[in-house]
Each structure stands twice: as C-alpha cells, then as structure tokens.
Amino acid sequence: MTTTRMTEREPEKVDFDDEEPSEEDLQNSAEMLYHLLSVGALEIMGYDNDNEPIYRFTDICKEEYPELYDLHMAEVNQIANELWQMGLIDLNWTDDDMSVTITPDNFINLKKFDGVLSNDQLNFLETLVVQSMNDLDQMDY
C-alpha cells in the first residue's frame, strides 16, 4: 500500500475545547485526518444522510496510536452506555468484546427522545445504522 503524507512532521494534537476552532486547529485536524487515512489507521465505513463520510478506526490505529484509540473508545463506550440506559440500543458482552444492536423495540423507544439526544448520540446511532446496512450488503442470501 502506498502512503502519502501531507506533511513530513508528525501531526499535532488538536484541542477543540473552545467553542470555535481556530484556522490552525482546523488545518491541524485536516492534516491529522489525512494522515490517519493515508496510513490505514482510519477508514471510511460509509456515508451519512448528507453524503458526508463516516470513519472507523482500524487495528492499525490501535497499534500505532493507542492513546487516540483509547480516548475514542472511551467516548464511544460512554455514548453507548447512555443510549443503552435510554433503551435505544442493546449491548451484548462477551469475554473480550461488546456488540451493539438496534432492534425494532429500540426504534419505538426513539420516538420518546425526539429532540433530546445530543449530536454525539445521534451520530452514534447514524453510524450504527450505516454499519448495519454495510453488513447487510455483504451478506450472502
């Protein structure tokens, strides 16, 4: 696989604690995104309703950028727990993994939370639906 770097230096950490990211923050985040995609640490898993890409961290990210991967997984797990407590997803644990599913009952519960969910929670649900659609596309019928 050929990789191309946008810059020779390692991408800088970007801090988005402020309400409005600076132009420099946006440039750094674009460089980081491009870098992660080019080395295979991030991949496009599908597209949302606005035709914007939805990304997924790969095992390469877990190996090469463990802090970033762990931070991402902590956020994903927190959002998953919130949605599970609301009855919007089902979580299934095994010895070494967790799977997330949406059932028809979860969709019925979704009506109760119209206008209440955060953008992160909505993005999580949208990503889960895209992943489910991708899984269906790859099934042999």
Structural domain boundaries enclosing 95: 59-137
Q: Decide if 36 is inside a domain.
A: no
Q: Decide if 115 is inside a domain.
A: yes
Q: For residues 57 and 78, what is the distance between their CA atoms, to the nearest angstrom?
A: 17
pLDDT digits (tens, 9 = 90+) for 77-124: 999 999 999 999 998 888 777 788 888 888 888 888 888 999 899 888
51 φ/ψ sector (left φ>0, alpha ψ -120 to 50, else beta): left
pLDDT digits (tens, 9 = 90+) for 57-68: 999 999 999 999
Q: Decide if 97 is inside a domain.
A: yes
Q: Decide if 126 is inside a domain.
A: yes
Q: Decide if 71 is inside a domain.
A: yes
**Total structural domains in the chain?**
1
